[in-house]
Structure 1
């Protein structure tokens, strides 16, 4: 992909693996990137600094992306927030989710795992977009979802190998860096699912499953992503039973660790201090 002139992008994402990958891809193509981990910080960033566009995660703890966008459009962060283009970034590919994003005032809708071509096309389009014009179709540059197949691979190394900074040799070790970040995040996410199952907290379990689905797909851990997607759908449609979820996740965790030669630490003893839904 040809490198474009620099665009000032604010990335709002509270899941560390996805945040780092999006930032690295944007910087690789020459864009200036500022990253924050929540809606409140995003409003503050727009209030204090000039950005050409916002890449906004939809599900965050302190203030989700939809409410953050509503606050921007209401002028809470100053006049720039009323017109700055906002690209939604979400692991949810349902039409109702897209419609909700657009209704909140977002301009575009991309799904996770992030497709580099779709992301850069949207950033280039909206980064050059004249503030306040409505001629463009807000769904024109929407990305395609990546749905795990019935028998997904435990791990596909081609996903990280295809990252532009890895493929062109400029950051050959980034695939290992982001994989280490992913494995560091796993015990806490699996622990919160176990705790939520024990206490009957379906909302907490759904948020953790959503985050795990997104980060797993981003690094190519497709079997874990499928397990998380199934758990999220199970809870999203109102099912209260969760006893079967921890053993399923433990099995996928063990399979992934075995395949990649990673130490399989007991997830039951991991302490979870803060949720990181995406």
Structure 2
């Protein structure tokens, strides 16, 4: 990609850790990045400026990525304007998520957590710059599950120790907010809100390769989506314990 023209990219993502990580990866590739915190702001940014490509999260407050994409495609059709490439960058990697993104009008899909190579390769593919490479090799299902796999987390961000430290500091500061949001949603029996909060937390934990806490956040997200309040309540305490263990591991 080093010999390719540099791009103006609109990053539509509500999570600060994911914003920082994606922006640094893109800027290290020489690209210019504008950030919008949700689909509504992303739509406004697209209307008011010119971009070469949009990276779009799926689950965001105010307006999700699917709705923002549908509106962009509808307005392009009304104007007779050219089609801007849109790549989903999301922790929603359940069966059918990729197809939902494509039906909404997206052109590509990257699951979180991602390595810089995977993100940049998908951008190249969507822009027609390269032939698609083979998929990443599967990990063993029986591998040990550490609280924090530092080596794997570094691999995802190109071995940048300073960046990892910055992202960890951001997460340490944000952890009380994540937990307060989950508690408030549970107290209100607001299952969609609970699912969104767990989804957001799951994506960040995946970036850090905090697999045990990530697995619990994934279970909590599914419980929220299914409206299983008892199961959700039973997951909160184990998730808190895993987060405490993770924080002890990363700040020592």
Q: Deviations over 1:65-85 (max 9, x none)?
A: 010011001117984876101
Q: Tell me if structure 2 keeps the 8 A contact 1:12–1:55.
A: yes
Work out whether 1:231 is the aligned partner of 2:220: yes
- Counterpart of 1:27 in structure 2 is 27
Q: Tell me if structure 2 keeps the 8 A contact 1:4–1:29.
A: no
Change (3 A) 1:19 1:174: same
Structure 1: 5+ residue runs without aligned partners?
130-135, 263-278
Work out whether 1:259 is the aligned partner of 2:243: no
Work out whether 1:158 is the aligned partner of 2:151: yes
Deviation of 1:164 (Å): 5.0
- Counterpart of 1:195 in structure 2 is 184
Q: Deviations over 1:69-118 (max 9, x none)?
A: 11001117984876101001111222321111111111111111123222
Aligned length: 250
RMSD: 2.9
Distance in 1 of aligned mates of 2:110 and 2:200: 16
Which secondary structure state, in structure 1, belongs to the residue aligned with residue 75 of structure 2?
coil
The worse-fitting range, judged by mean Cα deviation, of 174-183 and 115-124 is: 115-124
Structure of higher RCO (CA pairs closer than 8 Å, 6+ residues apart)? 1
Normalised TM-score (structure 2): 0.87
Distance in 2 of aligned mates of 1:3 and 1:153: 39
- Counterpart of 1:9 in structure 2 is 9
Deviation of 1:260 (Å): 2.8
Which secondary structure state, in structure 2, belongs to the residue aligned with residue 173 of structure 1?
helix
Q: Tell me if structure 2 keeps the 8 A contact 1:110–1:144.
A: no
- Counterpart of 1:275 in structure 2 is none
Distance in 1 of aligned mates of 2:59 and 2:109: 13
Which secondary structure state, in structure 2, belongs to the residue aligned with residue 24 of structure 1?
helix
Q: Deviations over 1:178-233 (max 9, x none)?
A: 11111111111112212222232211111111011000111222221111012112
